[in-house]
Amino acid sequence: MRDFDRDRERDHDDDFDRKRRGGIQKRRVCRFCVDKLPDVDYKDTSMLRNFISERGKILPRRLSGNCATHQRKVAVAVRRARQIAFLPYVVSAG
């Protein structure tokens, strides 16, 4: 078997495995761009909590679905809210 046949076969197997495991998912869209929401506000803690994990970390862009511009604004807003004690830096265990 030639090299390009082997590569094609391997690519087919990878695609099959990815589909079987559920690896192909619809891309999440930026909530701020779609709904034309106003800029991110650090005082809106209920909205900012959607972008923080259970442990208090800022969710990455691939999980939150934000575009790069709004992800940066969310990160700045979370940091400001933490500084003023609207949001916790860490969530206590227990």
Distance, in Å, from the CA atom of 61 to the CA atom of 47, rounded to the nearest integer, reads 16
State both tokens at 54: 């259970």
Q: pLDDT value at position 18?
A: 59
Which position has the higher pLDDT, 63 or 26? 63
- Is the domain 27-83 a CATH 4.10.640.10 member? yes
Q: pLDDT value at position 92?
A: 77
Per-residue confidence band for 61, with pLDDT thresholds at 50, 70 and 90: very high
pLDDT tens digit sequence for 1-51: 566 666 666 666 666 565 666 666 667 788 888 888 788 999 999 999 999
SS3 74: helix
Report which of 77, 72, 69 is spatially closest to residue 48, judged by C-alpha positions. Answer: 77
Q: pLDDT value at position 48?
A: 93
Q: pLDDT value at position 43?
A: 94
The residue assigned the tokens 């695609």 is: 15
